[in-house]
Amino acid sequence: MDECSQNIFEPGKVINGQWVILELIGKGGMGEVYRAHQLNLKRDVALKVISSQWLQALLEDEEEMETAMQRFKREVQAMARVRHPNVLQIFDYGSAVIQKDATACPVEFICMEYVAGNTLRHTMSEEGFYPEQELVISWLQDYFLPVLKGVQAIHDLDIVHRDLKPENIMLDGRTPKIADFGLARSNRLKQVTGSMEIKGTAHYMSPEHFFDFKRADQRADIYSLGKILFEALDGKMNKKIPTFKSVGLKNPGSPFLRKLDHIIRDATA
């Protein structure tokens, strides 16, 4: 096993004299996420370590790793410009060389806002809110409309999320915050995410997104939002809902629900 492939940061280790690692809090296709304490500002942050496999997938044809890294850093800088209460804030980008079992491991990481709460998934019923219109309205006002505002802030800077799903929307108390946006840039990334993330994400991915990441523009995010809205109303998606299929409510019984059904069908068309 590659010594640099997992558990790269050990609890108690100080990274670049700035961050004390507290604990590993998550793993995904991009790499690992750690809770850390930023010494100078005395606050907890999240450090997302970018896996070497993911970085290799950033390479375009005939492109050198250094060129790919510069491009990736520019994308992170663009994402850090997003300032919105419903978008997880990116603070910094860093590099380090970590000694692990006599192996020197070069590491790239992103420092971002730490949110200790649950995700949007925890606000959604397994059976769905439909046809209880009051529950639908409450969920829309408390959670979905703020998410739409966050996505709009991202799109206003010409950034595409490319992986919107309930698990990528964190909850800071009752405030939803969009995380992990704009990072799936290369069309070759599906070779990496295919074995790591696609299984839980495919229901929310538009066809052009799945088959060619470069074609995933803002419309791909709208498709994902339509699927999230449908799931909140109809219940958790499973094998009965074919991937890439347009969805809609069955027999919406009021003008309000018919309007939502129209929105869902348009978004996922």
Q: What is the DSSP letter of 29?
A: S
**E strand spans, 59-134:** 90-100, 103-113
Residue that has been written with the tokens 């995010």 in this structure: 221
Contact 20, 39 (CB under 8 A): yes
**Active-site residue identified among 172, 180, 234, 261:** 172
Query: Helix, strand or coil for residue 245?
Result: coil
The 3-class SS string of 174-222 reads CEEEECCCCCCCCHHHHHHHHHHCHHHHHHHCCHHHHHCHHHCCHHHHH
Q: What is the DSSP letter of 123?
A: G
In order, the DSSP letters of 46-57 are EEEEEPHHHHHH
Give the angle 215-217-223 at the CA atoms, nearest 5°.
105
Tokens of 17: 């004299």
Verify whether residue 172 is a known catalytic residue.
yes
Q: Can you tell me the distance from the alpha carbon of 90 to that of 45, in angstroms, rounded to the nearest whole number? A: 10
Which residues are identified as catalytic?
172
